[in-house]
Chains A and B, each alone.
Chain A
Amino acid sequence: MSGEDEAWFDEAAGPLVRPYAVTGGRTRSDQFGLELITLVVALPSVAEASALPPEYARIVRLCQRPMSVAEVAALIDLPLPVIKVLLSDLIEQNYVIFRRAAPMSEAPDQHVLQAVLDGIRKL
């Protein structure tokens, strides 16, 4: 990569601890079919979260109210595939519950559309 005296890492190389270190190298995350706007919420309280390993505890503290997978990734600042793995672990352990968005095969619900329309108008 470079001479011994020269640092081989720099800003472009990204963080020294690669994201997958926290997942033990796992990247598969399709177990629960988590998508960008799948909602998740933690069951343990903030106080109970401290019993968990740090990355999991951060997620549990963050997800005290419903949040999308994309928001968790953005706020914890880890790439989406990594967050999906960590969330899958938490779901498996029953620390987090999730709810997927309506499947695409279904036509959009007019009640939902009307609520979205009213909501945007009220902004």
Chain B
Amino acid sequence: MASENSDPRRRLTATAVKLLVAGGFGVGKTTMVGSVSEVPPLRTEELLTSASEGVDDLAGVEAKSTTTVALDFGRITISPELILYLFGTPGQDRFWFMWDELATGALGAVVLADTRRLESCFPAVDFFERRGLPFVVGVNCFDGAHRYGTEEVRAALDVDPTVPMLLCDARDRESTKQVLVTLIQHVMRNAELLPAGR
């Protein structure tokens, strides 16, 4: 049936790429995704059982087997041939296992920082540094939150001086665009420095 009715236009030539938005719980990751996504942020659920490799059924998994991790993400159709996905990382530390799958194939990441609780983005910074995934830090300026300068935040986070850091408002489309543009430029600089055929 499929071969008879195959529409020759149904050739899958499009490419998908993804960026991550990480940071502590409640820092505004989904808000940032939603500010530029062409659709309201979508939510999908991964089951906790996928933490272990080669799990074939649910046998042996205890009562918590139905625990789900929600992933929020948005889509930007750049062209018919190129689709960009923005994934928010799960905020809670116990969902670390998801980060590997999320980071696989990602071009780069935004670490969203809240200066009222800066420590909540430490795990994300550590993860991307260890993984060698290029990232930028967006300091989300919440209403009423004391605004620290980016250099104070840089010192507190102790990130490499080459890591771009900028103030942003996760609710604002133009602001989020600026963060993403900074990220892609950073990724491009990094890629140029990589030996060919890495």
CB of A45 within 8 A of chain B?
Answer: yes
Interface residues on B, range: 35 or more
Q: Which one, B44, B85, B173, B177, contacts A121 given CB within 8 A? A: B177
Given known contacts A44-B1, A48-B5, is B102 in contact with A36 (CB within 8 Å)?
Answer: yes
Task: Please give, as numbers and ranges, the residues of chain A lying within 8 Å of B75 by CB-CB distance.
Answer: 68, 71
Task: Please give, as numbers and ranges, the residues of chain A lying within 8 Å of B42 by CB-CB distance.
Answer: 70-71, 74-75
Would B82 and A116 count as touching, CB distance under 8 A? yes
Which of B26-34, B52-60, B138-146, B149-157 is found at the contact surface with chain A? B52-60
Q: Which residue of B lies closest to A97 (CB)?
A: B12
Given known contacts A37-B85, A43-B2, A121-B177, is B104 in contact with A104 (CB within 8 Å)?
Answer: yes
CB of B101 within 8 A of chain A?
Answer: yes
Would A101 and B12 count as touching, CB distance under 8 A? no
CB of B198 within 8 A of chain A?
Answer: yes
Would A35 and B101 count as touching, CB distance under 8 A? yes
CB of A16 within 8 A of chain B?
Answer: no
Task: Please give, as numbers and ranges, the residues of chain A lying within 8 Å of B191 by CB-CB distance.
Answer: 107-108, 110, 113
CA distance A108 to B19 in the complex (A): 12
Q: Which one, A35, A70, A71, A110, contacts B104 given CB within 8 A? A: A35
Would A44 and B2 count as touching, CB distance under 8 A? yes
Would A102 and B15 count as touching, CB distance under 8 A? yes
Task: Please give, as numbers and ranges, the residues of chain B lying within 8 Å of A66 by CB-CB distance.
Answer: 12, 14, 83
**Interface positions of B from 57 to 103, Cβ below 8 Å from A:** 57-58, 66, 68, 71, 73, 75-76, 78-79, 82-85, 87, 101-102
Taking the closest CB of chain B, its distance from the CB of A60, in whole angstroms, is: 10
Would B45 and A73 count as touching, CB distance under 8 A? yes
Q: Which residue of A lies closest to B36 (CB)?
A: A123
Residues of chain B touching chain A, judged by Cβ–Cβ distance below 8 Å, are 1-3, 5-7, 10, 12-18, 36, 42-47, 49-50, 55-58, 66, 68, 71, 73, 75-76, 78-79, 82-85, 87, 101-102, 104-105, 107, 173, 177, 180-181, 184-185, 187-188, 191-192, 194, 196-198
CB-CB nearest 6 A-B residue pairs: A119-B78, A74-B42, A94-B2, A37-B16, A73-B44, A74-B44
12 A–B pairs (Cβ distance < 8 Å), ordered by A = A35-B105, A37-B16, A39-B12, A66-B14, A70-B71, A70-B73, A74-B44, A75-B42, A80-B47, A101-B105, A116-B82, A123-B177
12 new A-B contacts at CB < 8 Å, known A66-B12, A70-B85, A101-B16: A26-B57, A37-B18, A71-B42, A80-B44, A80-B46, A80-B50, A81-B49, A81-B50, A101-B17, A108-B107, A112-B17, A117-B184
